[in-house]
Amino acid sequence: MLDLSLQALGENLTFLKGNRFLQLLLIIASSCFLEDPARCVIGPLVGADVIEWWFAILGMTLGGMAGDLGLYLIGRLGTAVLIRRRWLNRARLVWIKQTFRHHAVKAMLFARYLPGTRGVTYISAGVARYPFPKAILLLFLAAFSQAVIFTIFGHFIGEAILPWMQKPWFGWAVLAVVVFPIIIVYQVASRKAEREGGRKPKG
Protein backbone atom coordinates (compact mmCIF):
# COMPACT_ATOMS: atom_id res chain seq x y z
CA MET A 1 0.00 0.00 0.00
CA LEU A 2 2.80 2.39 0.88
CA ASP A 3 4.62 1.57 -2.36
CA LEU A 4 1.52 2.49 -4.36
CA SER A 5 1.13 5.72 -2.39
CA LEU A 6 4.74 6.71 -3.04
CA GLN A 7 4.45 5.84 -6.72
CA ALA A 8 1.30 7.97 -6.95
CA LEU A 9 3.10 10.78 -5.14
CA GLY A 10 5.94 10.80 -7.66
CA GLU A 11 3.52 10.73 -10.59
CA ASN A 12 1.37 13.54 -9.18
CA LEU A 13 4.36 15.74 -8.37
CA THR A 14 5.59 15.26 -11.93
CA PHE A 15 2.12 16.03 -13.31
CA LEU A 16 1.94 19.22 -11.22
CA LYS A 17 5.31 20.50 -12.40
CA GLY A 18 3.67 23.53 -14.03
CA ASN A 19 1.50 24.36 -11.00
CA ARG A 20 3.77 25.41 -8.17
CA PHE A 21 1.00 26.09 -5.66
CA LEU A 22 -0.56 22.64 -5.90
CA GLN A 23 2.87 21.02 -6.06
CA LEU A 24 3.86 22.83 -2.85
CA LEU A 25 0.66 21.73 -1.09
CA LEU A 26 1.32 18.13 -2.09
CA ILE A 27 4.93 18.30 -0.86
CA ILE A 28 3.77 19.74 2.48
CA ALA A 29 0.98 17.18 2.95
CA SER A 30 3.10 14.18 1.97
CA SER A 31 6.02 15.31 4.15
CA CYS A 32 3.64 15.73 7.06
CA PHE A 33 1.79 12.41 6.83
CA LEU A 34 4.18 10.06 4.97
CA GLU A 35 7.32 11.55 6.52
CA ASP A 36 10.68 10.09 5.40
CA PRO A 37 9.32 7.80 2.64
CA ALA A 38 7.82 10.87 0.97
CA ARG A 39 11.12 12.74 1.29
CA CYS A 40 12.86 9.83 -0.41
CA VAL A 41 10.57 10.44 -3.39
CA ILE A 42 10.78 14.24 -3.36
CA GLY A 43 14.60 14.41 -3.19
CA PRO A 44 15.35 12.51 -6.43
CA LEU A 45 12.72 14.57 -8.25
CA VAL A 46 14.91 17.60 -7.56
CA GLY A 47 17.76 15.92 -9.43
CA ALA A 48 15.35 15.02 -12.23
CA ASP A 49 14.39 18.74 -12.57
CA VAL A 50 10.77 18.06 -11.63
CA ILE A 51 11.01 20.16 -8.43
CA GLU A 52 13.31 23.11 -7.78
CA TRP A 53 15.67 22.58 -4.85
CA TRP A 54 14.50 25.56 -2.80
CA PHE A 55 10.89 24.56 -3.40
CA ALA A 56 11.55 21.06 -2.11
CA ILE A 57 13.31 22.39 1.00
CA LEU A 58 10.47 24.84 1.67
CA GLY A 59 7.75 22.22 1.28
CA MET A 60 9.51 19.52 3.32
CA THR A 61 10.32 22.02 6.09
CA LEU A 62 6.73 23.23 6.35
CA GLY A 63 5.38 19.68 6.18
CA GLY A 64 7.77 18.45 8.86
CA MET A 65 6.97 21.39 11.13
CA ALA A 66 3.22 20.88 10.70
CA GLY A 67 3.38 17.30 11.95
CA ASP A 68 5.83 18.10 14.75
CA LEU A 69 3.82 21.10 15.93
CA GLY A 70 0.71 18.91 16.06
CA LEU A 71 2.52 16.49 18.38
CA TYR A 72 3.72 19.35 20.58
CA LEU A 73 0.19 20.75 20.88
CA ILE A 74 -1.22 17.33 21.71
CA GLY A 75 1.13 17.17 24.68
CA ARG A 76 0.61 20.78 25.73
CA LEU A 77 -3.18 20.82 25.47
CA GLY A 78 -3.82 17.21 26.44
CA THR A 79 -1.81 16.91 29.65
CA ALA A 80 -4.91 16.92 31.83
CA VAL A 81 -6.46 14.14 29.74
CA LEU A 82 -3.26 12.07 29.95
CA ILE A 83 -3.22 12.39 33.74
CA ARG A 84 -6.96 11.76 34.11
CA ARG A 85 -6.71 8.56 32.07
CA ARG A 86 -3.63 7.55 34.09
CA TRP A 87 -1.41 7.43 31.02
CA LEU A 88 0.78 9.95 32.85
CA ASN A 89 1.31 10.34 36.60
CA ARG A 90 2.58 13.33 38.56
CA ALA A 91 6.01 11.80 39.20
CA ARG A 92 6.53 11.16 35.48
CA LEU A 93 5.39 14.71 34.69
CA VAL A 94 7.99 16.15 37.08
CA TRP A 95 10.70 13.96 35.52
CA ILE A 96 9.75 15.09 32.00
CA LYS A 97 9.90 18.76 32.99
CA GLN A 98 13.30 18.35 34.64
CA THR A 99 14.65 16.48 31.61
CA PHE A 100 13.52 19.17 29.16
CA ARG A 101 14.93 21.87 31.40
CA HIS A 102 18.44 20.51 30.77
CA HIS A 103 18.28 18.55 27.49
CA ALA A 104 15.51 20.14 25.40
CA VAL A 105 17.72 21.32 22.52
CA LYS A 106 19.48 17.99 22.04
CA ALA A 107 16.28 15.99 22.44
CA MET A 108 14.20 18.01 19.98
CA LEU A 109 16.90 18.22 17.31
CA PHE A 110 18.04 14.60 17.40
CA ALA A 111 14.50 13.21 17.67
CA ARG A 112 13.88 14.04 14.02
CA TYR A 113 16.73 11.76 13.01
CA LEU A 114 16.13 8.86 15.42
CA PRO A 115 13.30 6.54 14.29
CA GLY A 116 10.63 5.95 16.90
CA THR A 117 11.57 8.87 19.16
CA ARG A 118 9.97 11.85 17.40
CA GLY A 119 6.41 11.37 18.61
CA VAL A 120 7.33 10.70 22.23
CA THR A 121 9.84 13.57 22.34
CA TYR A 122 7.61 16.27 20.86
CA ILE A 123 4.56 15.23 22.87
CA SER A 124 6.77 15.28 25.97
CA ALA A 125 7.94 18.79 25.04
CA GLY A 126 4.31 19.90 25.08
CA VAL A 127 3.62 18.09 28.35
CA ALA A 128 6.66 19.82 29.89
CA ARG A 129 5.24 23.19 28.77
CA TYR A 130 8.47 23.93 26.92
CA PRO A 131 8.24 27.60 25.81
CA PHE A 132 6.31 27.85 22.56
CA PRO A 133 8.68 30.29 20.74
CA LYS A 134 11.70 28.11 21.56
CA ALA A 135 9.80 25.00 20.50
CA ILE A 136 8.90 26.59 17.15
CA LEU A 137 12.54 27.54 16.58
CA LEU A 138 13.84 24.05 17.38
CA LEU A 139 11.14 22.39 15.29
CA PHE A 140 12.08 24.64 12.38
CA LEU A 141 15.81 23.92 12.69
CA ALA A 142 15.20 20.17 12.90
CA ALA A 143 12.81 20.07 9.93
CA PHE A 144 14.92 22.47 7.84
CA SER A 145 18.18 20.57 8.37
CA GLN A 146 16.52 17.28 7.48
CA ALA A 147 14.95 18.81 4.37
CA VAL A 148 18.37 20.07 3.24
CA ILE A 149 19.97 16.65 3.76
CA PHE A 150 17.22 14.83 1.83
CA THR A 151 17.40 17.40 -0.96
CA ILE A 152 21.18 17.12 -1.34
CA PHE A 153 21.25 13.33 -1.36
CA GLY A 154 18.07 13.11 -3.41
CA HIS A 155 19.49 15.51 -5.99
CA PHE A 156 22.59 13.34 -6.31
CA ILE A 157 20.47 10.20 -6.75
CA GLY A 158 18.14 11.82 -9.25
CA GLU A 159 20.94 13.35 -11.30
CA ALA A 160 23.64 10.69 -11.12
CA ILE A 161 21.96 7.35 -10.39
CA LEU A 162 18.41 7.38 -11.77
CA PRO A 163 19.55 7.86 -15.40
CA TRP A 164 21.68 4.72 -15.05
CA MET A 165 18.78 2.80 -13.54
CA GLN A 166 16.83 3.37 -16.74
CA LYS A 167 19.47 1.55 -18.80
CA PRO A 168 18.36 -1.96 -19.89
CA TRP A 169 21.55 -3.55 -18.53
CA PHE A 170 21.33 -1.92 -15.08
CA GLY A 171 19.35 -4.78 -13.51
CA TRP A 172 21.90 -7.34 -14.70
CA ALA A 173 24.74 -5.19 -13.38
CA VAL A 174 23.16 -4.98 -9.94
CA LEU A 175 22.56 -8.73 -9.97
CA ALA A 176 26.20 -9.34 -10.87
CA VAL A 177 27.40 -7.03 -8.09
CA VAL A 178 25.28 -8.93 -5.57
CA VAL A 179 25.83 -12.49 -6.82
CA PHE A 180 29.54 -12.33 -7.74
CA PRO A 181 30.81 -11.69 -4.17
CA ILE A 182 28.58 -14.51 -2.90
CA ILE A 183 30.17 -16.92 -5.38
CA ILE A 184 33.67 -15.78 -4.40
CA VAL A 185 32.95 -16.19 -0.68
CA TYR A 186 31.46 -19.63 -1.30
CA GLN A 187 34.50 -20.75 -3.30
CA VAL A 188 36.94 -19.48 -0.65
CA ALA A 189 34.94 -21.14 2.15
CA SER A 190 34.75 -24.43 0.23
CA ARG A 191 38.52 -24.52 -0.41
CA LYS A 192 39.23 -23.67 3.21
CA ALA A 193 36.95 -26.48 4.36
CA GLU A 194 38.69 -28.92 1.99
CA ARG A 195 42.15 -27.94 3.29
CA GLU A 196 41.07 -28.30 6.90
CA GLY A 197 39.47 -31.65 6.13
CA GLY A 198 42.70 -32.90 4.50
CA ARG A 199 44.73 -31.96 7.57
CA LYS A 200 42.72 -34.17 9.95
CA PRO A 201 44.76 -37.23 11.05
CA LYS A 202 43.51 -40.54 9.80
CA GLY A 203 42.13 -43.10 12.23
CA pair distance 20, 18, nearest whole angstrom: 6
pTM tops 0.85: no
Instruction: Identify whether the C-beta of residue 140 lies closer than 8 Å to the C-beta of residue 61.
Output: yes
Q: Which of residues 93 and 151 earns the better pLDDT score?
A: 151
> Domain spans of the chain?
2-166, 168-203
Angle of CA points 70, 117, 130, to nearest 5°:
50
CA pair distance 21, 191, nearest whole angstrom: 63
Q: In the 8-state DSSP scheme, what is residue 52?
A: -
Tally of CA atoms within 13 A in the half-sphere of 27 that contains its CB: 32
- The kind and range of the H/E element at 184 are helix 170-199
Average pLDDT score over residue span 41-55: 89
Predicted confidence (pLDDT) per residue in 156-179, tens digit: 877 766 665 566 655 666 666 667
Q: Which of residues 186 and 132 earns the better pLDDT score?
A: 132
CA pair distance 136, 45, nearest whole angstrom: 28
